[in-house]
Amino acid sequence: MHTDAGSQYTSIVYTERLAPAAAAPSVGTVGDAYDNALAESTIGLFKSELIKPRGPWRSVERVEIATLEYVGWFNHRRLHSAAGDIPLAELEAAHYRQRTVTPQPENSSR
C-alpha cells in the first residue's frame, strides 16, 4: 500500500487494516523520493495521457471504464522506452521465459 509519509504511518488502525489484506506499507525515509518516484510518475502519465485529454468526465463510471481500458493499453500496447520500446507485458513474458529452465531429455542411446 503506497501513500505519502505522514500520520497514517503512525496510525495503529491503518497498520491493522493492512495486515488482513497482506499489504505492506511502502515508505522511504522522510525527505527522499525513492519509494514515491515510480508512483508519482505513473500517476502523472495517467493524468496526461487519459484524464486531462478526455475530460471533462460526466460520471465516476466513465472514469472507471476508461481507467480499465487505459491499464490494458498501458500494459499490452504502449511502447515503453525504458523497456526497449516494447509493451510491459512483453517484457514481463520475456523475463519469465528466461527464468524458466527447460529440463533437457536424457540421452536414451546408452
Give the least confident one: 1-10, 11-20, 75-84, 92-101: 1-10
Give the chain's mean pLDDT: 81
pTM: 0.58
Q: Grid coordinates in use for 39? A: 508512483
7 located within any domain: no
Q: Where are the alpha helices (DSSP H) in 3-33?
A: 12-18
Does residue 53 fall inside a structural domain? yes
pLDDT at residue 100, as a whole number: 77
| Domain presence at residue 88 | yes
Q: Which domain holds residue 68?
A: 33-99
Output 19 or 89, whichever has higher pLDDT: 89
Q: Is the pLDDT of residue 30 over 80?
A: no
The band of 12, judged by pLDDT with boundaries at 50, 70 and 90, is confident
Domain presence at residue 48 = yes
Residue 19, in any domain of the structure: no
Beta bridge partners of 2: 26
The total domain count for the chain is 1
More confident site: 56 or 100: 56
pLDDT at residue 58, rounded to an integer: 96
* Cβ–Cβ under 8 Å, residues 54 and 60: no
User: Looking at residues 92-100, what average pLDDT do you find?
Assistant: 90
Considering the chain, what percentage of its residues have pLDDT values greater than 90?
46
